[in-house]
Amino acid sequence: MTTPMTENERDAALAIALLAALADGQDGPAERAELQRIAAALDPAAEGRLGPLLDDLRSGQRTLESAAGAFQTAETRQAAFELAVGVCNADGSASPAEATFLERLRGVLRLGDDASAFARDAGAMMALPAAGASSGAAGGPSTPAQQPRPAPDGAALDKQILDAAILNGALELLPQRLATLAVIPLQLRLVYKIGQAHGYELDAGHLKDFAATAGVGLASQYVERAGRALMGGLLRGMLGKMVGGVASMATGSAMSFATTYALGQVAKRYYGGGRTLTPEALREAFQAVLADGKALQEKYGGAIQEKAKTVDVSKLVGLVRGETR
């Protein structure tokens, strides 16, 4: 049976997650907002000590080595590594700097080749579904090119959004660790396909900007799901038949369904309306539809459970890339 993380281990997991978020060297206002979301997702009590913790990390008073030394079991070391992998890959495959950080972390945590394989599979899983490009200006999505195209079938788009929400809800019910990692790229792929249906060719930068403008932090969204397992001591892939594990997975399923549904519906409104929504209106629309998604999840709970029975985890990379169904 998996044992809960101690308070020191939880604090160390937060430090490692923040170091992972800082590994690419970016530390502007958008990055600081995401650090705040990461801290809140992993430890709601961390808000008051986030500033001092970041100061300690940036000054070197708290190091990767000191954080890694807090973990008492191989399970919690592996969990901390997987958390960092998710953070580094949340907005696309890890950059060279992030990959270097992860390899250093693997060594510090004394993990073997299985950890390297997990990081490699995660990178393939979480690569963005469009050609990479630098992100646009802060405060709103970058401007994609639009090509003339017939108006898409609204009902067909609604079905596509619902199907994606059901799939992502189903992935959260699976015990395999890579299943959770597939949720974010599948959400961004949905936005990509909706924009494409309206004639917009979206690049990776725009996809990240769209999610951020709507109020969805990619790294913190992953941390929130992983954090439910970490804080309860229920590591993905090692759950067994524990009531707490079932509850945690059900919560993650509901949130992934609702977030996917809301992103899809807001993307449909945004691109269908010629991208006229302001960043503030986009965020308000997302929050409103997110509430609808949470209510709708109860209706489709049975469909989500049935979908979970049919997902072939070995084909998740192809599923994310649109190569399999």
Q: What pLDDT, in 10s, does the model give residues 11-42? A: 898 899 899 988 988 776 767 777 887 787 77
* 145, β-bridge pairs: 201
* CATH number listed for the domain at residues 7-126: 1.10.3680
Give the pTM.
0.75
**Cβ-count burial 204-240 (b if 16+ within 10 Å, e if not):** bbbbbbbbbbbebbbbbbbbbbbbbbbbbbbbbbbbe
* 146, β-bridge pairs: 200
How do the domains of the chain map onto residue ranges? Answer: 7-126, 145-320
Rg of the chain over Cα atoms, rounded to whole angstroms, equals 19
Backbone angles phi, psi at 116, to 5 degrees: -60, -40
Q: Are 117 and 81 in contact (CB under 8 A)?
A: no
The type of residue at 257 is F
Residues 160, 181: Cα–Cα separation, whole Å: 20
pLDDT confidence bin for 288, thresholds 50/70/90 = very high
Percent of the chain scored above 70 by pLDDT?
Answer: 84
pLDDT in tens, 29-76: 767 777 887 787 777 777 677 888 888 988 889 999 999 999 998 888
Most confident of 214-228, 231-245, 270-284: 270-284
